[in-house]
Structure 1
Amino acid sequence: MRAVIQRVSHASCTVDNKITGEIEQGLLVLLGVEEGDTKADMEWLGQKLVNLRIFSDEQGLMNKSVQDIEGNILLISQFTLFAQTKKGNRPSFIRAGKPDIAKPMYEAMGDYLSDLLGKPSQLGIFGADMTIDLCNDGPVTIIMNTKDKDNF
């Protein structure tokens, strides 16, 4: 799994002019599922997401997690995180998980994050043409990859 994590003051996802998910302060997480990703990958990343200390404390230091601030998470499926651009100018997405694998994993991550936070996480719609509106706070943007845990 690959994730782009953005600290936001607000974010929303719209599909066909309807808001499918909306949060105030918290994390916007763009999630790509790769062939071979497992429940263990999902659990590792989910724990990292809710415990990542990237929110400011009273001294202005990044010492608080989304759990600590009682923030929210907006989770968006994003197969393009596995774009390969080595050959030519048209990206290949061959490494991205096929929908029959990726969709259940994405939905399971949404459920897992809800369990960890003790409240519903917000979601986009898998495979839909989504419009994401956000205000990146900081800006703070972090990339994580479960296949490279030693560096994260």
Structure 2
Amino acid sequence: MNVPARITVCPERQMLEYMLDRNRAELIDTVRGLSETEARRRLVPSMTTSIGLIKHAAFAERKWFQHILGGLPESACDGAMVGEASFDISDDETVADVIAEFERASSRARAIAAGIDLDATREHPACGTVSLRWIYLLMIQEFARHAGHSDILREQTEATRRS
């Protein structure tokens, strides 16, 4: 994922898109260099793993951009659409596969959002009326939080390498 140099002043939409892309890239960077075993290691009681966070982020992209913003039925979205199952990684999926899945979902999200005004609204069954601006802010928050989770998992993994 190619993120431009740090941007601090620009129009609102450009800033939102930049921050979202930056957080997408940060999340991916947390798994680069981990082995397949390390990326799958469960270091907390939940289903959270480094690779699982990327897989879940791809689900979030599909849910919010393809299904809610784009209006596609869940069956027409290009991947798993079940929340908790989005952390499940099959034995045949690699880190590279999951990163590629997330990058495809991110690319499709960009394409869907490109022609939509920030103030355009859609209905979400649980959240009610949401705007594209709100979706951007939600995804920025979501990916920043998950990058932080994955940073901690990586730090724990790297500590075990040294011991």
Structure exhibiting the larger radius of gyration computed from Cα positions = 2
Higher relative contact order (CA 8 A, sep 6+): 1
Normalising by structure 1, report the TM-score.
0.29
Normalising by structure 2, report the TM-score.
0.28
